[in-house]
Amino acid sequence: MRPMPVVVFASGRGSNARQIFQAAQENASLLSVEALICNVPDAPVCQIAKDYQVPLYSIPIVPKETPIATRLAHEKRIHEVLSHLSWSYICLAGYMRILTADFVERYPHPVWPVSRILNIHPSLLPDFTGLNAYRQAFEAGDPTSGVTIHFVSAEVDAGAVIHQQTFPRLPADTLASFEARGLVVEHQAYRAVLFALAQGQYQVDQDPFSIRLALTC
């Protein structure tokens, strides 16, 4: 069996990207990372890619006459890189750009009615979409929070859910301790989803589309 090739998109700290790189390094027969695409040239995730010898494509934003022209020109450069690589999934891992509908629709899944783009979001979607999801969840005070890995659709944080994993909000939590606990869960969840996809360990319902993983790790 050939490893499942992925391209990681990230913008910052890179802890999820690191987990994916590490997972591929430890399980080279299952998963390979073909590239990191980063829109912030000096982001810490760039050094992480170098440490793991993952090819790095630094593609900064170049302002154009309008915001949409800027986005499309930036994405055009990404398409160019992707067209030279062989990959099954894009893994968004702290990628702080909203992809245009044009981008998402260009990469349909070969089998399912979704894109080939995965994202991790630090809440139990559909709760707490958008930025600062940990803060939103913490301030809401629910005793149980969680993370979601989903297929990316044209609408932000709204695509078909692949996997959700919960974690508790403890009475003594600060926002920092709550987020640190959640981040560990994010790392486990992304790894588990990628291994399940790579090994075909999931069940798919077509209507309405949903995918449930038979997680083994």
Residues with catalytic annotation?
121
d(CA 70, CA 138): 34
Structure tokens at 189: 């969840």
Whole-angstrom distance, CA of residue 216 vs CA of residue 213: 9
145 and 123 in contact (C-beta within 8 Å)? yes
Q: Does 34 bind ligand GRF (CB under 6 A)?
A: no
The contact pattern for ligand GRF, residues 150-189, with x = CB under 6 A and - = no contact, is ------------------------------------x---
Site string for ligand GRF, 103-132 (x = CB under 6 A): -----------------xxx----------
Interface with ligand GRF, residue 12, by CB under 6 A: yes
What binding mask, one character per residue, do residues 58-97 give for ligand GRF by CB under 6 A, x or -? Answer: -----------------------------------xx---
Phi and psi angles of residue 67, each rounded to the nearest 5 degrees, phi first: -60, -40
Q: Is 148 in the site for ligand GRF (CB under 6 A)?
A: no
**Strand (E) or helix (H) holding 54:** none
Query: What gap in Å lies between CA 39 and CA 37, rounded to an integer?
Result: 7
Binding site for ligand GRF (CB under 6 A): 10, 12-17, 93-94, 120-122, 186
